[in-house]
Amino acid sequence: MQSFRTELENPVVEQDIINLEKKIREFREGKINDEKFRSLRLARGIYGQRQPGVQMVRIKLPFGKVTFKQLLRIAEVSDEYASRNLHLTTRQDIQIHYVSLDRTPQLWADLEKDDVTLREACGNTVRNVTASPTAGIDPNEPFDVSPYAYGTFDYLLRNPVNQDMPRKFKISFSANDQDTAFSFIHDLGFIPKINEKGERGFKVMLGGGLGAQPILANIVEEFLPEDQLIPYTESAIRVFDRYGERNNRNKARFKYVIQKYGLEEVLRLMQVERTANKTKSYKIDIEAVEVPALPAEQQFGDVTISNPLGYEQWLATNVFEQKQKGFYGVYIKVQTGDIPTDKARKLVALLQPLAGDEIRVTQNQGLLLKYVRKEAFATLYNGLAELGMAAPGFDSVADVTTCPGTDTCNLGISNSMTFARVLEDLIYNEYEDLIYNRDITIKISGCMNSCGQHSMAHIGFHGSSLKAGAKVLPSMQVMLGGGVVGDGVGRAGDRVIKIPAKRATQVLRDLLDDYKANSIENELFNDYYDRQGKDYFYQMLKPLADLTTLTDEDFVDWGHVESYEKAIGVGECAGVVIDLVATLLYESDEKLEWANESFKGGAWADAIYHSYNVFINSAKALLLDKGVNSSTQIGIMKEFDAQYVATGEFALNGDNFNELVTQINQHEPSEEFATRYKALATEFLANVKAKRETVLQS
């Protein structure tokens, strides 16, 4: 590995990066096993690609906000370490690809010079906190949710409660009842409300998620006071950490905890956890997200529009008036979410005199500019047109959302990126009037896991495969009827039919033609879908699923020339199950060290939670010696009592293990309790090591 250097002013961040470099070195030396190391790097935004030997690095942008300087820094980093491309994601992150693992510490250090982080962008953590991109300028918002999204991100970053959860946890903030941040598909979704007293608060959605089995969130609070936002969130995360499934990754989401225990019981468990929360009331700093530097007023003179028709379409579909008088928001449609770095630099140079110094990444992989003056429209349009970034129809039928699919993802089954480009070209060339239609959304994922959010689209596709005799061909599962209803309510699409991938363009033509011919005047697409019924669409599309009429072309995936071969790697989105005894004890030592550091810094709640994890990891290690691999933390407590305490094999001074450990949610996080609890965890780890040594020697 190359020598590592850092010149960061933040000692916490610097230590984070030094630790990553150390772990990579230990992994290379064989001191850390592959599964443990994979979990560790994922929590630092480093994700294995489909291509061996290189990584995707996910850059975490809270609520999608990025300044001009930060965007230039990310472009510079992509040039130096990656493939000179920026990929915008549906969770408002930026991803770069083809990065060498050994260079990731220096990459991270370079990003942090402009306050950009990788921490907890992947892995079993709270992922990027998303928000409506219009937050702060939305004419219909009760108040700006940006500071609340930032406050949540800031509170949870490096917080012990979410460093090693059963799986990922997602949080969103919508600007208003239109719910453009899709609260209903999140573990926690928030919609701003003002009560009859004029106080701020949130409507709360709990336990949503997409994936192979989409489950829509439960509305659990009509009005949660703003100071309870953080305590409520922490309580939910603590319950997920304690009760979430850790062996079966397909069931390792919060929605399945609710499915297993019931909503009322989960809410009760959350209430129990409130005692242990770091804070019972948390005031969000509503000034934390500053108004960006605004463009100066200037005279533009007469500007000749490069494409008058395109300009009119762009004004109609990509521009809206902000709540701040005299300023406008401008959307940029970014095909497949990809921006080459040279184009990103030219874009910043264009925007600096014309827009506010704040860009938001949107959930459909585009960009939103803020604080543009009306007199700058023509100059801005011409500049965007020169960059190929002035396409009209933002968030319309012609704005297709897609994940990277088989281009880089291990789990991709069929190509989604080329397919998305083909569908957009089809709309522009054959259905140009639909660039004004925002009622219909098209979303694509390369597999069933819904990174492209296909299951919440009006028309969704996800990659799959079909067998025709001895041969396999790429296919698309067609899903219809998903979408946003509003105010926390959404719809998951129905699986209608699976067809060869190369016939999916005709699927879209048939659907749009039938909608145009048979819908009632002003009938929305999902109303039309509901009226006709699922079987109507199945029968309509059934001829396209006929495998007796296959041609050679059907065996070639989009964007390829060779015949299709289904190749799925090991997915890393959900992290992995760590079940090696030595690794668990190594982790216990590490977590005890963190507990001691937190205690020295006066962070009692953090010290307590690290100590809690010492108990859990150490107990799991001994249980594995007996072949017992419990799938939840609460299960580990019960099994340890059954296997070791009740049999007299492990003495606990009269307490059972469950009672010993669950003191965590029965006491306030005081210095006194932190001292006692940490001492108990230290003693327990020492006894576990002694017991383990006895087992090895017997």
Report yes or no on 590 lying in a domain.
Answer: yes
- pLDDT digit string (tens) for 617-637? 999 999 988 889 999 999 999
Q: What is the mean predicted confidence (pLDDT) over 485-502? A: 96
Share of the chain above pLDDT 70, in %: 96
The domain that holds 23 is classified in CATH as: 3.90.480.20
Query: Is position 321 within any domain?
Result: yes
| 409 Cβ contact list (under 8 Å, min separation 6) | 49, 50, 403, 446, 447, 451
Rounded to an integer, the average pLDDT of 154-175 is: 95
* pLDDT recorded at residue 142: 98
pLDDT over 90 (residue 414):
no
**pLDDT beyond 80 at 253:** yes
Tell me if 330 is assigned to some domain: yes
558-567: burial string, b at 16+ Cβ within 10 Å, e else? bbeeeebebe
**Domain annotation covers residue 118:** no
**Segment (H or E) for 47:** strand 46-48
Per the domain annotation, does 125 fall within a domain? no
- In angstroms, the CA 458 to CA 610 distance is 44
Q: Identify the pLDDT of residue 406.
A: 75
Residue 461 located in a structural domain: yes
Task: Please check whether residues 134 and 100 belong to one and the same domain.
Answer: no
Q: Kindly indicate the confidence band of residue 497, based on its pLDDT and cuts at 50, 70 and 90.
A: very high
> Per-residue pLDDT for 2 more than 50?
no
Residues 422 and 509 occupy one common structural domain: yes
Identify the pLDDT of residue 566. 67
Cβ of 187: how many Cβ atoms within 10 Å? 27
Which DSSP category does 641 fall into? I
Whether residues 433 and 549 fall in one domain: yes
Could you tell me if 617 and 692 lie in one domain? Answer: yes
The position carrying tokens 């949080």 is 171
Q: What integer pLDDT is reported at residue 574 of this predicted model?
A: 40
Q: Are residues 515 and 634 in the same domain?
A: no
pLDDT classification of 27: cutoffs 50, 70, 90? confident
204 and 252 part of one domain: yes
Using the Cα atoms of residue 590, residue 232, residue 491 and residue 129 in order, give the sign of their dihedral: negative
Say yes or no: 272 and 319 in one domain: no
Q: What is the pLDDT of residue 18?
A: 87
Q: Does some domain include residue 675?
A: yes
State the pLDDT confidence band at 212, using cuts at 50, 70 and 90: confident
Asked if residue 639 and residue 544 are part of one domain, the reply reads no
* Calpha distance 91→128 (Å, rounded): 7
Average pLDDT of span 39-63: 87
DSSP class of residue 84? S
Where b means 16+ CB within 10 Å and e means fewer, 188-223 reads: bbbbbbeeeeeebbbbbbbbbbbbebbbbbbbbbeb
Dist CA 59 CA 153 (whole Å): 14
Q: How many Cβ atoms from other residues are within 10 Å of residue 402's Cβ?
A: 31
422, 479: one domain: yes
Task: State the CATH number of the domain containing residue 343.
Answer: 3.30.70.3340
- Do residues 76 and 134 both lie within one domain? no
Spatial CA neighbour of 284 closest among 399, 173, 154: 154
- CB 274 within 8 Å of CB 231: yes
Q: Which of 375-389, 443-457, 525-539 has the lowest mean pLDDT?
A: 443-457
Check pLDDT > 90 for residue 268.
yes
Main-chain phi, psi angles of 612, to 5 degrees: -55, -45
The arithmetic mean of pLDDT across residues 386-408, rounded, is 92
* Number of domains making up the chain: 5
Domain shared by 546 and 588, yes or no: no
Residue 171, φ and ψ in degrees, nearest 5: -130, 140
Q: In this structure, what CATH number is given to the domain that contains residue 161?
A: 3.30.413.10
d(CA 360, CA 67): 9
Is the pLDDT at 189 greater than 80? The verdict is yes
Which residues are bridge partners to 205 per DSSP?
Answer: 189, 219
Instruction: Give the Cα separation of 405 and 423 in Å (integer).
Output: 15
- pTM for the structure as a whole: 0.92
The pLDDT of residue 578 is 34
Q: How confident is the model at residue 180 (pLDDT cuts 50, 70, 90)?
A: very high
Lowest mean pLDDT among 120-129, 240-249, 522-531, 556-565: 556-565
CATH number at residue 609: 1.20.120.330
**Mean pLDDT over each residue of the chain, to the nearest integer:** 92
Whether residue 119 lies inside any domain: the answer is no
Are 668 and 614 found together in one domain?
yes
Tell me the residue range of the domain where 457 lies: 411-555
Measured CA to CA, the distance from residue 683 to residue 57 in angstroms comes to 39
Distance CA 575, CA 423 (A): 33
Query: Above 50 in pLDDT, residue 85?
Result: yes
